Homo-oligomer: A and B are copies of this chain.
Amino acid sequence: MAPTSEALTAERILAATEEVLRRHGPAKATVVDVARALGVSHGSVYRHFRTKAALRDAVTKRWLDRTFESLSGIVTAEDLDPEARLRAWFAGLFAAKRRKAGDEPELFATFSVLATENGGAVGSHIADLTGQLTRIVQAGVDAGTFTVSDPATTARALFHATGRFHDPRYAREWEQPGVEGELEAVVDLLLRGLRSRD
């Protein structure tokens, strides 16, 4: 890599790390590699990130933010009723996860590793997603189409019940033929449970 003479910023380190991860995968991507790609000593990288774990976490956060940006738009989509929002949201989440698992396997693997380690970036990602779910459920309650006692608890239940379609541990199953239908069957059942009965 050309040792660019620009200042060494956190952002440049993150970009280089992502590149190294993409090329080598999470198991074989070292801080030394990142430094080499930037044309600096590895000590310099440690000036910006206290540990290798912190660096991985930051890269994953950046990647997650980029990848699931569009989802939050659905939460406030005025042209959709809460039920349609929920359907679109789950469909969008699943589509994005599956696409990334296929298109960027190495970065997805990094995310998976962090997920099993309860990394900070993954923790906030999940908190972010359940927060979005809570807001949709709340909107449904406000509109009178949903009846639930505690939107936040319900949101977590929805998230848990759909784990098979967003938890990276199931990534392999996402390629099998009938999955789309499986997601729909689960979401149908859950939406029936949310609906008001009077």
User: In the complex, which residues 140-198 of chain A have their Cβ closer than 8 Å to any Cβ of chain B?
Assistant: 153-154, 156-158, 160-164, 169, 182, 185-186, 188-194, 197
Classify chain A's interface size: 20 to 34
Q: Which residues of B contact A193 (CB under 8 A)?
A: 188-193
Contacts of A189 in B (CB 8 A): 154, 157-158, 161, 190, 193-194
Q: CB within 8 A of A157: which of B154, B156, B160, B185?
A: B185
| B-binding residues in A (CB < 8 A) | 153-154, 156-158, 160-164, 169, 182, 185-186, 188-194, 197
Other than the given A189-B194, A190-B190, A192-B194, 4 more pairs (CB < 8 A) read: A156-B182, A161-B186, A163-B163, A192-B192
What 4 A-B pairs come out closest when comparing CB atoms? Answer: A193-B193, A192-B193, A161-B161, A157-B185
Q: Knowing A191-B193, A192-B193, A197-B197, say if A186 contacts B169 (CB, 8 Å).
A: no
* A179 closest partner in B (C-beta): B160
Q: Cβ of B157 and Cβ of A186 under 8 Å apart?
A: yes
